[in-house]
Structure 1
Amino acid sequence: MKIVCIGGGHGLSQVLDALKNMPCELTAIVTTTDNGGSTGRLRQDPSQIAFGDIRRCAETLGNPENMLTILSEQRFEQNNDLKGHSFGNILLSALSQVTHNTSDAIKVFCAMLGVKHTILPMANGPVDLVATSESGERVFGECHVDALSTFPKHLSLSKAVVANQQAVEAILHADLILLGPGSLLTSVMPPLLLSDIRDALCRTSGCRIFIENLVPEHSAVDSIPANEQVTKAVEILGYKFFDVCLTPDAFEAMDLRAIEKEQHSSTHNKSQLKHIIEQLLPYQDDTQPNYSIKVH
């Protein structure tokens, strides 16, 4: 079974962690508009895409016993120009200079970490997120979009970029497409703003499932009621990007009492995610996924 996961941040890596040992072919399409932290500093080079979430996905899917997987997660602590940088981000940046191609750099990086699935950037070229507030204020960059006090009236990319064509093909040929969880404006929506990804999501025969967050984001998204957030996103995008929403109520409706609770209740429980996603996969003699779970 071919599964495509779209998003960024910790949410995407959680989904990948839940799926990585299942009998399926995984493709992660990663948001690359981040401009904060180590990634933001490296993006002072105008040719640099945001590698941070790509690195996190590769670490999740990589061989945990591989020394490079371990090193990739390490951040420099010395009080010099490297302080705060992730080794994986530095390595990806160096690989992009050597290969002169973002996708090739990611492919080499994944091979070094022992990743057996596919990780793709939403686009091969650098681009930023731009939002316009209800008052008409225009803010540039993911960090400033996250800092808005109200849900924006408009969301776009800073320039026209071409979607990664391998990502487009993966969506078109997917059996199941999982979007989220994660920050709605800054992790989930940026790839959906690309026209080729929009067209692929509208044309695909795969079931598109949006996984909502379990708790408030503490961002501009929370300025409107939870039951209006997805509707507002669809209004901004101009198309419905999902067939089914997995809401917090859907998780509560499942019999998950036997599943061990994870320490941090603010994020999705990996075991719960795995339990629910397993029910969406075909089993043995079944030819179609089971979509009978309670969703809203």
Structure 2
Amino acid sequence: MRQSFPTGRTFATTLTGTARFVAAEKLLEDVEAIPACGSIVALPQFAIVDFEGRESINRIQWAGASCVRTVDDHVSLSLHWKIEDSALPTQSGTLMVEPQAGGGHVCAGELPHLAPGTEPRVLSGWSRHALERSLATVRDQGKQEMFSLVMSLLPYVRQSVDSAARRIYREIHDVPASQDVAIIPVIDQVEADVVIDRMLYGDDSSNWSMVTRLIRRVAATDAVVKKSVMQFISTAIWSSAETHVRAAIGDPHTGRVIRRLARLIRSAEPQVVLDVFRETYPEAQMGLNRVKAALTAGATIGAQQVAWDTVSDDESEPSTWP
């Protein structure tokens, strides 16, 4: 799975771009607050930290939160930053944004180790309209970075969906580890592609998909402060893949619990299982339809046909070659 996952530097670059996209978009919501003359400062949002000889990606926390700032002409800014890691000492420093004699600003001061291309950017303008265009440029470039990361996550999402489809089959049919050969995905490849597309690109009911919402959350909030960025993202995708696959086969959220109870009492009668569920979890809301859905969940017709065709093809080939 690691081979299909983007590198730390890819995350540092694309997440910084995403953070700038979100911040610039917010500033453009109130154009009148943009200075009549000054600069746009786009700050790095993720740094590369050495952790036992390996590169760790950590979120930079800026005083004032936003990684895109507007600054009036002839005004200076002092921007304090810090990086907190649960396993490493806190890093901190200050970046100065100083006005230049001929107009515009320049950045100077301490910065952590950054991925190439994420260094602070200063875009100066001598009118509000010029600064608005610069903000739009930061927004558009950042949005491209976000979708670049979405596409780079495609192989990992695909593997996560395939793994989830097999894990769910094992759980539903209680297949022991010694019988892996008996496991088939609960959805076929066409159905898996639908799940993958929904995770990556969303559907008509939302502007953002599961993956884009995750990326925006990691990039633009403190969700990953003192946490592993890559582990946070990989775990969220892994978990969501299982949720999406279960939804594709009509398996309710509590399906595993219901089936476990059914095995314990050795009964597949929905009403009997429901009664035991309510006794075991009196505060949970559970209806007969969800119990029936859990007890009847399984591989789709398409997945079963693929498995049957595979077995048929195998049996049609000679066991020995002349």
Q: Normalising to structure 2: TM-score of the pair?
A: 0.20
- Higher Cα Rg, which structure: 2
Higher helix share: 2
Q: Normalising to structure 1: TM-score of the pair?
A: 0.21
